[in-house]
């Protein structure tokens, strides 16, 4: 397959979720940031969110509007508390005043005026009307008729307080004008993810004999290999194997000759590297084309695949170890 559609870390995450049987990820706001269930062990929540976003863009996840978070404009933390404040001087030291009326005698006043040792007593008729702290105990004649707010320091009276946010992480106070109000998404794994994970598992099974053979011959292996060509562009390979200074670049193919053409193009940009195509599809035409392009086709369905691979490895082993260091060292010694 040309190019890596998902990076190793993305693939790892998706495989982890599928294997764990997680179908859906939901966000929650915690003191440590926005965390998603089942993957809250990932340290950096911002990176996790951008990872999830980018997987959604490529349809490995289906996003769904789920919640909103107030984000501190100074430090980006979503763990924010709210306070009420006086609209005149922005003081948060305000109190809510509840207005009550005792219906039989019409006495109206603030709850505070009724309060006596935890009980509510009508200041006009002196009747006990219930507990000051439990509305359930109030008699049917005691009515709440309204409320207002009072600024405790400066006595300002108002009906609607300002809502100000406080970030305990950096200590800043802000309101709706500067706050970032961001959508939080829930994600569901898409069919594409299940297919990808299955393909990965299948591919791993298919290439296992090849991998084993490479290891037996003491080659080092790297999946999802990236290398910069002489043209300056970066090329991606499904697999790379190295021994000494020699590099073998491998792509997988499901019988598609385009894979071979692409591999040839990439190989030409990386002088000195060997290339081989692993074909899972048993394509005869590809075998012939491989001879023309001088790229061995390794098809584990064919008996001779070991010989083909062995030849490549022999060729790699013949490359002498470059003596890059020698002249430099000589100069150094001479100077001393």
What's the Cα-to-Cα distance from 64 to each of 56, 115, 188, rounded to whole Å?
A: 10, 50, 8
Give the range of 96-104, 195-203, 242-250, 298-306 binding Zn ion by CB under 5 A. 96-104
State which of residues 77, 246, 283, 300 lies at the interface with Zn ion (CB under 5 A): 77
Task: Please calculate the CA angle 91-96-99 and round it to the nearest 5 degrees.
Answer: 145
Q: Which is nearer to Zn ion, 152 or 212 (CB)?
A: 152
105 binds Zn ion (CB under 5 A): yes
Q: Where are the alpha helices (DSSP H) in the chain?
A: 8-20, 45-57, 111-114, 191-216, 257-268, 284-293, 305-318, 325-335
Q: Concatenate the DSSP letters of all residues of 152-168 into one string.
A: TTT--EESSPEEEEE-T
151 binds Zn ion (CB under 5 A): yes
75 binds Zn ion (CB under 5 A): yes
Give the range of 12-20, 26-34, 101-109, 295-303 binding Zn ion by CB under 5 A. 101-109
Q: Which is nearer to Zn ion, 85 or 263 (CB)?
A: 85
35 binds Zn ion (CB under 5 A): no
Evaluate whether 278 touches 252 at the Cβ level (below 8 Å).
yes
263 binds Zn ion (CB under 5 A): no
Cα–Cα distance, 328 to 185 (Å, whole number): 57
State which of residues 30, 88, 191, 199 lies at the interface with Zn ion (CB under 5 A): 88
Helix axes 284-293, 257-268, angle to 10 degrees: 20
Residue 240 is inside which H or E element, if any? Answer: strand 234-243
304 binds Zn ion (CB under 5 A): no
Q: Which is nearer to Zn ion, 74 or 236 (CB)?
A: 74
Output the six-digit token pair for 300. Answer: 């584990």
Backbone angles phi, psi at 110, to 5 degrees: -70, 150
Q: Which is nearer to Zn ion, 175 or 269 (CB)?
A: 175
State which of residues 17, 29, 52, 122 lies at the interface with Zn ion (CB under 5 A): 122
170 binds Zn ion (CB under 5 A): yes
Q: Which residues pair with 140 in a beta bridge?
A: none
State which of residues 72, 248, 263, 295 lies at the interface with Zn ion (CB under 5 A): 72
124 binds Zn ion (CB under 5 A): yes
Q: Which is nearer to Zn ion, 99 or 306 (CB)?
A: 99
Name the site residues for Zn ion (rule: CB under 5 A). 72, 74-75, 77, 86, 88-89, 91, 102, 105, 107, 122, 124-125, 151, 154, 156, 167, 169-170
């Amino acid at each position: 397959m040309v190019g890596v559609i998902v990076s190793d870390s993305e693939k790892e995450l998706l495989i982890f979720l599928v294997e764990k049987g997680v179908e859906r990820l939901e966000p929650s706001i915690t003191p440590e940031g926005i965390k998603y269930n089942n993957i809250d062990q990932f340290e950096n929540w911002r990176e996790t969110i951008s990872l999830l976003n980018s997987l959604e863009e490529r349809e490995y996840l289906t996003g769904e509007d789920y919640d909103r978070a107030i984000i501190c404009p100074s430090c980006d933390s979503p763990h924010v508390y709210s306070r009420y404040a006086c609209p005149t001087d922005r003081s948060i030291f305000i109190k809510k005043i509840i207005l009550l009326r005792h219906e039989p005698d019409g006495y109206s006043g603030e709850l505070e005026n009724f309060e006596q040792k935890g009980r509510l007593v009508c200041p006009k008729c002196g009747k006990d009307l219930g507990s000051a702290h439990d509305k359930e105990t109030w008699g049917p004649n005691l009515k709440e008729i309204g409320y207002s707010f009072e600024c405790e320091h400066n006595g300002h009276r108002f009906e609607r307080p300002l809502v100000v946010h406080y970030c305990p992480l950096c200590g800043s106070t802000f309101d709706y004008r500067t706050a970032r109000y961001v959508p939080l998404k829930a994600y569901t794994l898409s069919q594409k993810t299940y297919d990808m994970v299955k393909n990965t598992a299948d591919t791993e099974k298919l290439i296992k004999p090849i991998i084993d053979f490479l290891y037996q011959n003491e080659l080092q292996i790297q999946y999802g290999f990236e290398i910069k060509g002489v043209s300056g562009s970066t090329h991606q390979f499904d697999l790379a194997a190295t021994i000494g200074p020699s590099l073998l670049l491998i792509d997988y193919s499901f019988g598609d000759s385009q894979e071979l053409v692409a591999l040839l193009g990439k190989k030409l940009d990386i002088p000195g590297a060997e290339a081989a195509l692993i074909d899972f599809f048993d394509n005869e035409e590809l075998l012939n084309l491989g001879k023309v392009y001088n790229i061995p086709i390794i098809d584990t369905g064919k008996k001779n695949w070991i010989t083909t691979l062995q030849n490549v490895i022999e060729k790699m082993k013949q490359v002498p170890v470059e003596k890059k260091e020698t002249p430099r060292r000589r100069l150094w010694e001479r100077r001393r």
